[in-house]
Amino acid sequence: MPSTLAFKPSHIGNRGLYFAAAILLGWGSMLAFLLRYPINWQNPLTYFFVLVQMHLYTGVFITAHDAIHGVVVPQNRRLNYWVGFVCATLFAFNNFNRLSRKHHLHHRHSATHDDPDFHDGNPAFLAWYYSFLKEYISIGQILLMAITYNILKIWLPMENLILYWMVPAVLSTFQLFFFGTYLPHRGEHQNPPHNARSQPLNHVWAFLSCYFFGYHAEHHAWPYLPWWKLPEARESVRSDELRIMS
26-77 pLDDT tens trace: 999 999 999 999 999 999 999 999 999 999 999 999 999 999 999 999 999 9
CA distance 193 to 195: 6
C-alpha angle 26-224-136 in degrees, rounded to nearest 5: 65
Residues 6+ apart with CB under 8 A from 74: 12, 16, 80
In terms of residue numbers, what domain contains 85?
2-245
What confidence tier does 4 reach under pLDDT thresholds 50, 70, 90? very low
Rounded to the nearest integer, the mean pLDDT of the chain is 88
pLDDT of residue 192 exceeding 90: no
pLDDT of residue 6 exceeding 60: no
Please report how many Cα atoms fall inside a 13 Å half-sphere around the Cα of residue 60, on the Cβ side.
28
pLDDT of residue 150 exceeding 50: yes
pLDDT at 142: 92
How is residue 213 annotated by DSSP? T
pLDDT of residue 141 exceeding 80: yes
How is residue 10 annotated by DSSP? P
pTM equals: 0.90
pLDDT at 246: 43
pLDDT of residue 172 exceeding 70: yes
Stretch 9-31: mean pLDDT, rounded? 89
pLDDT of residue 10 exceeding 60: no
Backbone angles phi, psi at 194, to 5 degrees: -70, -35
Report the greatest alpha carbon distance in the chain. Answer: 65
Q: How far apart are the first and last CA of the chain?
A: 16
Q: What region does 138 belong to: left with phi over 0, alpha with psi -120 to 50, or beta?
A: beta
pLDDT of residue 11 exceeding 80: no
pLDDT of residue 3 exceeding 50: no
Burial of 52 (0-12, 13-18, 19+ CB in 10 A): middle
pLDDT at 123: 63
* DSSP H or E run through 24: helix 15-34
CA 59 to chain centre: 6
Backbone angles phi, psi at 33, to 5 degrees: -70, -45
pLDDT of residue 121 exceeding 70: no
| Cβ atoms 32, 159 nearer than 8 A | no
Other CB atoms within 10 Å distance of the CB of residue 193: 14
How many structural domains compose the chain?
1
